[in-house]
Structure 1
Amino acid sequence: MNAIAQPAAGNFTQHQTASAGWKLWTGRVLSMLLGAFFLFDAVMKFVKPAAVVTATLQLGFRESSIVPIGLALLACTVLYFVPRSAVFGALLLTGYLGGAVASQVRIGAPSFNILFPIVFASLVWTGLYLRDERVRALLS
């Protein structure tokens, strides 16, 4: 009766391994794409092209705050990619993106500008969920 109630060990392990591999690689690719975006955003804050300065001033921040914001984003992104600190990095990126939402709401920005960082925060956690078994176990 036990043999009927439980799947064959070989089939279960093979299916579990294939599922875990798919999740792992999907999570890695998603996280890499997000990381590329965040790193590009951080670098633009160091370079400070006119568009970045103008956008920052429109949000009500001083120009002198652009580089520290870029440093914060860079630090959060690096922590997100180090496996031991990935959850902490995701939490910090969520806070960073929450600040972006608050800034957009404060100036009465269009809905797209408010939803954009919310979508990115969701993708940060989706990528981490798919690539980190500990997060999947915690949320399952």
Structure 2
Amino acid sequence: MKLAGWIIIALFALFMLGASVAPKLLRLEAARAPLEQIGYPVKYLLLIGIMELVFTLLALYPRTALLGGILMTGLLGGAIASQLRAEMPVYSHTLFGVYLGALMWLGICLRSPALLAIATGRGQ
């Protein structure tokens, strides 16, 4: 289970770093256009990219995975709320944050037997 957890969290991190963090930090059009589309100023691009980078790295490191998961969940929740407010398509855009969050938490929980026990209701 630990190996599966590492593979899943690595896939999550690779996706976040390649598809979300890098375009934001490089200020690519692929990151600017969606931000403008949902009504946010481009000036927040770098801040959001840095938060995504830090939270992803925290989620990767086992000792800080819980903190990283909580912070990333907050960030993804904000993204979901923004997509809802902008009336974006539900399954492809709005719920994408839910899909990412579920993948991240699956990876975090499979790497930590204690968290997995709590998440499944088998913890003390």
Verify same fold: TM over 0.5: yes
Higher RCO (CA-CA < 8 Å; seq separation 6+): 2
2:93 aligned partner: 113
1:128 maps onto 2:108 in alignment = yes
Q: What TM-score, normalized to structure 2?
A: 0.91
The corresponding residue for 2:59 is 80
Cα distance in structure 2, aligned partners of 1:115 and 1:80: 21
Query: Pairwise CA RMSD of aligned residues?
Result: 1.0
Give the residue type in structure 2 aligned to 1:129.
C
In the alignment of these two chains, the number of paired residues is 118
Deviation at 1:82, TM superposition (A): 1.5
Q: 1:137 offset after TM fit, Å?
A: 2.6
**Larger Rg computed on CA atoms:** 1
TM-score, normalised to structure 1, is: 0.81
1:121 and 1:137 mapped to 2: Cα distance?
A: 19
- Consecutive unaligned residues of structure 1, counting only runs of 5 or more, are 1-22
1:32 aligns with 2:4: no
Does structure 1 retain, via aligned residues, the 8 Å contact 2:21–2:53?
yes
Give me the identity figure in percent: 31
Residues 1-140 of structure 1: matches in 2 within 5 Å? 23-40=1-18, 41-111=20-90, 112-139=92-119, 140=122
Conserved 8 A contact 2:12-2:104: yes
- Aligned-pair distance for 1:88? 0.7
Distance in 2 of aligned mates of 1:134 and 1:88: 15
- How far off its partner does 1:31 sit? 0.3
Q: Hey, what's the Cα distance between the residues in 2 that align with 1:87 and 1:94?
A: 10
Distance in 1 (alpha carbons) for counterparts of 2:45 and 2:70: 21
